[in-house]
Amino acid sequence: MEGLATRRMFFGAMAAAAAVPLVLSSEALAAPLPDGVTPGVEFAFSAHVLLEPTRDVGRTPYGIRRRIPIIGGTFEGPRIRGRVVPGGADWQLQRADDYTLIEADYMIEAEDGTQIHVRNRGLTNSRVKGATARYARTMPEFEAPAGPHAWLNQSVFVGSLQGVTGGPPAVLVHVFRLA
């Protein structure tokens, strides 16, 4: 019986603590953040990704689905360079508000032959009529084998997309490591 009473007291105390709202003073909100809290940003690499023309899949219950095959390209940064392996795709879903969810899944190959899986998800307003500024941000995730490129597995990255005019369909993907 003693164990049951102890558990009841514990869960009662937890419920009471959860009911107390956390209130921060305006001084606490205005205070500078301690070192290490605000992430730094460092350039990782830029990729010139070659694409086939967009293929409309059609309207689904979630929006308008599109597929953009990835057929190659190159990438380069201070710690890594190589090529984009043909065969991936960017699956896009245009929502009712005309913002488009991006989900690209492909492989890159470093100069030393290391194969690295990339899954890059994000959001763009490239199809929003009347948008005053282009918004195209992503969150690339990498899966690299142990070795010189394992650093890609050990950080959070953000990216920005930039369209390429003239020539075959392509996009520039700029990738930054949050430090």
Res. 137: pLDDT tops 60: yes
Give the model's pLDDT for residue 12: 61
Give the model's pLDDT for residue 91: 97
Average pLDDT (156-177) is 95
Question: What ranges do the domains of the chain cover?
Answer: 41-178
Average pLDDT (163-167) is 90
Q: Which fold would CATH assign to domain 41-178? A: Porin (2.40.160)
Q: pLDDT tens across 13-60, in order?
A: 555 555 555 676 777 777 888 888 889 999 999 999 999 999 999 999
Res. 101: pLDDT tops 90: yes
Give the pairing type, strands 136-143 and 115-124: antiparallel
Give the model's pLDDT for residue 2: 61
Three-state secondary structure along the chain?
Answer: CHHHHHHHHHHHHHHHHHHCCCCCCHHHHHCCCCCCCCCCEEEEEEEEEEECCCEEEEEECCEEEEEEEEEEEEEECCCCEEEEEEEEEEEEEECCCCCEEEEEEEEEEECCCCEEEEEEEEEECCCCCCCCCCCEEEEEEEECCCCCCHHHHHCEEEEEEEECCCCCCEEEEEEEEEC
- 168 vs 105, higher pLDDT: 105
Give the model's pLDDT for residue 9: 61
Mean pLDDT for the chain overall: 90
Give the model's pLDDT for residue 4: 57
Between the CA of residue 118 and those of 1, 63, 85, 173, what are the distances in Å? 55, 25, 11, 12
Sign of the torsion angle spanned by Cα atoms 86, 89, 162, 55: positive
Give the model's pLDDT for residue 90: 97
**Percent of the chain topping pLDDT 90:** 75
Q: pLDDT tens across 70-79, in order?
A: 999 999 999 9
